[in-house]
Each structure stands twice: as structure tokens, then as C-alpha cells.
Amino acid sequence: MKKRLILLMLASVMIFSTSSVMARSSFGWDVRAMGMGGAFVAVADDINAIDINPAGLAFLRGSQAEVSFSNADYSGVSENMLGLEYATQLDNGALGVSLSRYKYEMDPYYSSTSTNYCVAYGTKIQDNLAVGAHLSKTKSDSSTNFGVSALYKDGPQLSYGLLIDSDLTVGAAYRPDRQTVVALDLGNGTSIGVERHLDKSWIVRAGSDEGEFTFGVGYKIRKDLRLDYAHEAEQNAIALVTAF
């Protein structure tokens, strides 16, 4: 456990030294979900659930931590982000927290930064049904966002998710086998994604976010340590995820 935490700290230092910022993707997704086009409300089976569907934290086993970085360039506007997340199982549910910071640079003479804090909680009300909530605050404009969610697992193959925050998003996920998941989210837009485990180490992901193609790759360094990469349009993101 100590070695994994040290590795995460070293990764954080390396990212800070190259970007001077901290956050997740600009779309509010984590890297794994980004590779799936953001279709994750009904998947929500790891630390990515903090922002996307906190009810999914209730099914978490043990603890997970993640450090992620993303970079994007939109017509001369540079956006860098770094994020830290932690989630852990409790007696009656699971708690997740995240800290993110982003930086925009429009030209050599203008830049802005902001920090976002989020706390999330999920708990089971039945063996296959969980509810959750998250509260986030952005420091730059003192805005807050509160959301509630639910996740229902209809056997080993089907699951359904719901998130109500500034928008309403519903999702469905289908697992034809243990190596594959196909997901669909309907809300402010339409997202569809797929994830496939090729073997014990490699994972591939692809999706569409309102017609914008996304793809991602995951590599399991060890059973409890995974490296993720995702791309959409002008944005690239990486994450290191550990479980303990």
C-alpha cells in the first residue's frame, strides 16, 4: 500500500511540474469515462463515480485513488488540468472526495485559474440498488453544484443509472460477457461508449459524445494499478488509478 501511495505522489509531482495545474477533464468526466464518450452513468463501478454517479461508490470494495491530467487546445486557447481523487468503503456506504485545478491561457498576456472541490457519498438501500449525492464548489466564482443519483443492477448483465444535478441524465449499460460493457447516456446530449478487456493487461475503449468520436486505452501495470489514456477532439488525458 505504501509503495502505491508513493507512486501516486511521484506522479502528482511530475504532473504539477509540467503543468502547474490540477483537474480532471473539462467535461467533468474522468479519463476512463472520457474514452467511452462520457457514457458512464449506468457503469459507475470505480472511482470515476464521484462526479458521474456517486451512487456507484456504494458498490466499491476497499479504497481507490487517482491522479489525472488533461490538456486541450481550442483555437489558440490552451487548457491544462490536474485532478486528485480518493474514495473509500465505509460501514454504511462509501465516501469520495476530489480536488481539481485548471488553467486557461488565451495569449501570453492573459490566463486564469480555478479550483474545484467535490465530496460524494453513496449507499445501498437494497443489494442491487444504491443512491448517492455529491456536492462541489468552484473557488473562482463561488458557485456550488449539488446532485443526487441512483444505480440499479438488474443481474450481472444490465444496469441502469440516474443523475440529477444541473441536468437530468439517465443511462443503461449492458455486459454481454465479463470482458465487455456497452453503455448509453441520455441527457443534455447523447453519449454512447464501449469498453473491452483484451487480456489481463490491455483495455480498449471507444465512444461518441454527441457525434464526437472518442477513444481510450487502459493498461494494468499490476492487478491493483492501472494507467488510462483518452482522446477527444483537441483534448488528451491520462490517469493513474490504484486500488488498495
CATH number for the domain spanning 165: value is 2.40.160.60
Q: Is residue 132 part of a domain?
A: yes
Grid coordinates belonging to 82:
490536474
Q: Is residue 244 part of a domain?
A: no
Q: Is residue 226 part of a domain?
A: yes
Q: What is the pTM of this model?
A: 0.84
What is the average pLDDT across 41-64?
Answer: 96
Of 130, 153, 48, 170, the closest CA to residue 161 belongs to: 170
Grid coordinates belonging to 128:
442491487
Residue 106 pLDDT: 78
For residue 47, the enclosing domain spans 2-234
Q: Is residue 33 part of a domain?
A: yes
Rg (CA), the chain: 17
* 163 contacts 53 by C-beta, under 8 angstroms: yes
Q: Is residue 92 part of a domain?
A: yes
In which element (H, E) is residue 83 found? strand 77-90
Q: Is residue 239 part of a domain?
A: no
User: Burial, 31: exposed, middle or buried (Cβ in 10 Å; 0-12, 13-18, 19+)?
Assistant: buried
Confidence of residue 230 (pLDDT cuts 50, 70, 90): very high
Residue 74 pLDDT: 74
Confidence of residue 76 (pLDDT cuts 50, 70, 90): confident
What is the average pLDDT across 165-183?
Answer: 96
When the pLDDT of each residue in the chain is averaged and rounded to a whole number, the result is 87
- Does residue 1 register a pLDDT over 70? no
CA distances from 142 to 113, 116, 136 (A): 13, 10, 10
- Does residue 149 register a pLDDT over 50? yes
What is the average pLDDT across 25-29?
Answer: 42
- Residue 107 per-residue DSSP state: E
In the three-class reduction of DSSP (H, G, I as helix; E, B as strand; rest coil), residue 135 is classed as strand
- Does residue 155 register a pLDDT over 60? yes
Of 109, 160, 117, 159, the closest CA to residue 135 belongs to: 117
CA distances from 165 to 38, 99, 146 (A): 16, 19, 6
**pLDDT single digits (tens) 85-134:** 999 999 999 999 999 988 878 766 778 888 999 999 999 999 999 999 99
Q: Is residue 242 part of a domain?
A: no
Q: Is residue 243 part of a domain?
A: no
Tally the domains of the chain: 1
